[in-house]
Amino acid sequence: MKVSLATLSLLFACAFIELNCGGGPSTHALNAVNTASNSATSVRGATVPWPSGTTGNNDSSTGNTPSGTSTSGSSSSSGSSSNSGTSSSSGSGASSSAEPPPAQASIGTTLTNLQQNSGWLSFAELAPSYVLCRWCSPKGPQVTWSMNRGVSSPSMSGSATEFSVGGNVKYSDVIWINHLIGDLSTQGIEDHDHSINEATHNFIYDAYFWGTESDFSKAEALEFDINQYVDGKSFIWGTQCRVADGNWWDISVDGGMHWQPTSTSCNPVPNAWNHVVIQVQRTSDDQLLFQTITLNSKTATLNYLEDPGHVIGHGVTINYQQDGDHSQQKYSIYLDQLNFTYW
């Protein structure tokens, strides 16, 4: 179902200024059911930040917990191109190129190895309503999940993180959320005067993910989101690799309320590290611009514009989500070298 702006505003009030919301609303911006499809293709995702200590599951107790580091002026990983300050025409199509884009210029600030960070919050989302299940436990039974840091194999850095999802309610999901800038920042970037957030317009989500053929076959979708909340507006760049039902990339539209398929395929390679780079922009006139998606050095140029929503809160968050399929069998995906660049 769709989420009202009033509900979203209350959610962000709870999250950022820590009101006592009691039971509170638990629906979120990407949980609209696609009435034209069954629950397998329902709009599923999350952009809702929540304060540590009030609800949700803080995953700081599992595995090793070295903090992600911030490096000013560093470049992002290869496979993305900068488009700062530019505007693009709206359109849902995408063009693919086998050639990798130019290397990112040495600008911005890069937060590195965020998969190791101890500040991730996690929530289950039960089908078919996809509310944030505040009573669900990682031990189940409806949905089970875990986050295991410090994995040496498979790993690129020597410290990958294993994300696992299972349970007995089919088509249910788990979302992991990390507050990077603003209130509840896990990076020490509290930005009390909002100057960093207001000045930031460009973002790159850069990560490697690994799964077996069996794991990918149990995943409905893998989701990588960037969210910015500034001046009463919500900018939700939701991006998901729909592993089931066609292997394509979806992007979030209508203020993060629905998924829209792109013409870009998403075929992760099993038993190998898959490199995903997502570049987006908040334009000078406050629109969301989906710029490019790169998977394993193949770049799709989207240049798709959307209007923002309206919500209380200031800051920047990222999400990672795993969706269960018709069997809801347990599967694991490993993330490594999860870097986030902003400027």
Among residues 125, 134, 123, 130, the alpha carbon closest in space to that of 2 is found at 130
Task: State the pLDDT confidence band at 279, using cuts at 50, 70 and 90.
Answer: very high
Q: Please tell me the predicted confidence (pLDDT) of residue 311.
A: 87
Task: State the pLDDT confidence band at 264, using cuts at 50, 70 and 90.
Answer: very high
Task: State the pLDDT confidence band at 107, using cuts at 50, 70 and 90.
Answer: confident
Is the pLDDT confidence value at 54 over 60?
A: no
Please, what is the Cα angle at 220 between 217 and 221, to 5 degrees? 110
Is the pLDDT confidence value at 313 over 80?
A: yes
Q: What value does the mean pLDDT take over residues 78-83?
A: 35
Q: Which of 42-46, 303-307, 334-338 has the lowest mean pLDDT?
A: 42-46
Q: How far apart are CA 17 and CA 328, in angstroms?
A: 36
Among residues 338, 341, 340, 342, the alpha carbon closest in space to that of 157 is found at 338
Task: State the pLDDT confidence band at 63, using cuts at 50, 70 and 90.
Answer: very low
Q: What value does the mean pLDDT take over residues 178-194?
A: 96
Collapsing DSSP to helix, strand or coil, 158 comes out as coil
Beta strand extents in the chain (DSSP E only): 57-58, 69-72, 95-97, 109-112, 121-126, 131-133, 143-151, 160-167, 173-182, 202-210, 219-230, 233-242, 248-253, 258-265, 274-282, 288-295, 298-306, 309-310, 315-324, 331-342
| Alpha-carbon torsion angle 125, 34, 281, 173, nearest 10 | 20
Task: State the pLDDT confidence band at 254, using cuts at 50, 70 and 90.
Answer: confident
- pLDDT tens by residue, 93-102: 444 333 333 3
Q: What value does the mean pLDDT take over residues 202-218?
A: 98
Domains of the chain: 5-59+66-135+149-342 (2.60.120)
Q: Please tell me the predicted confidence (pLDDT) of residue 20.
A: 28
Is the pLDDT confidence value at 222 over 60?
A: yes
Is the pLDDT confidence value at 198 over 90?
A: yes
Q: How far apart are CA 124 and CA 172, in angstroms?
A: 7
Is the pLDDT confidence value at 56 over 80?
A: no
Mean pLDDT for the chain overall: 78
* Cβ proximity of 177 and 337 under 8 Å: no
**Model-level pTM greater than 0.95?**
no
Higher pLDDT, 234 or 79: 234
Q: Which residues contact 22 (CB under 8 A, 6 or more apart)?
A: none
Q: Please tell me the predicted confidence (pLDDT) of residue 131.
A: 83
- pLDDT tens by residue, 5-42: 333 333 343 344 332 232 222 222 333 222 222 222 23
Q: How far apart are CA 30 and CA 292, in angstroms?
A: 21
Among residues 269, 259, 302, the alpha carbon closest in space to that of 32 is found at 259
Collapsing DSSP to helix, strand or coil, 196 comes out as helix
Q: Please tell me the predicted confidence (pLDDT) of residue 44.
A: 57
Q: Which of 99-113, 279-293, 306-320 has the lowest mean pLDDT?
A: 99-113
- pLDDT tens by residue, 116-158: 999 999 999 999 999 889 899 999 999 999 999 999 999 999 9
Q: How far apart are CA 98 and CA 301, in angstroms?
A: 12
Q: Please tell me the predicted confidence (pLDDT) of residue 266.
A: 97
Higher pLDDT, 15 or 115: 115
